[in-house]
């Protein structure tokens, strides 16, 4: 059995209150991981091409206000 399968079984066995607490914790954990990844990508320049494309589209009139 893999670690993921073990976790699936453990999560499935949680009480409603524990599952709710786990959901809150995991949402915060996942957001923090995502933020660190995005910050790393931004700092490394991995997003520069996307930003350049978006700015070029905007300058060419291919954007609109939200």
Show pLDDT as tens, one digit a residue, over the chain (66 residues). Answer: 999 999 999 999 999 999 999 999 999 999 999 999 999 999 999 999 999 999 999 999 999 989
In whole angstroms, give the CA distance from residue 17 to residue 25.
12
| Domain extent listing, the chain | 3-59
pLDDT at 47: 97
**What per-residue confidence (pLDDT) applies to 64?**
93
How is residue 53 written in tokens? 């494309």
DSSP-assigned states of every residue in the chain: --HHHHHHHHHHT--HHHHHHHHHHHHHHHHHHHHHHHHHHHHHTTTHHHHHHHHHHHHTT-----
pTM for the predicted model, two decimal places: 0.70
């Amino acid at each position: 059995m893999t670690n993921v399968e073990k976790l699936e079984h453990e999560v499935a066995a949680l009480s409603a209150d524990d599952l709710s607490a786990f959901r809150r914790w995991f949402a915060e954990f996942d957001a923090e991981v995502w933020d660190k990844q995005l910050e790393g990508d931004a700092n490394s320049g991995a997003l520069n091409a996307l930003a350049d494309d978006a700015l070029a589209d905007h300058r060419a009139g291919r954007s609109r206000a939200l």
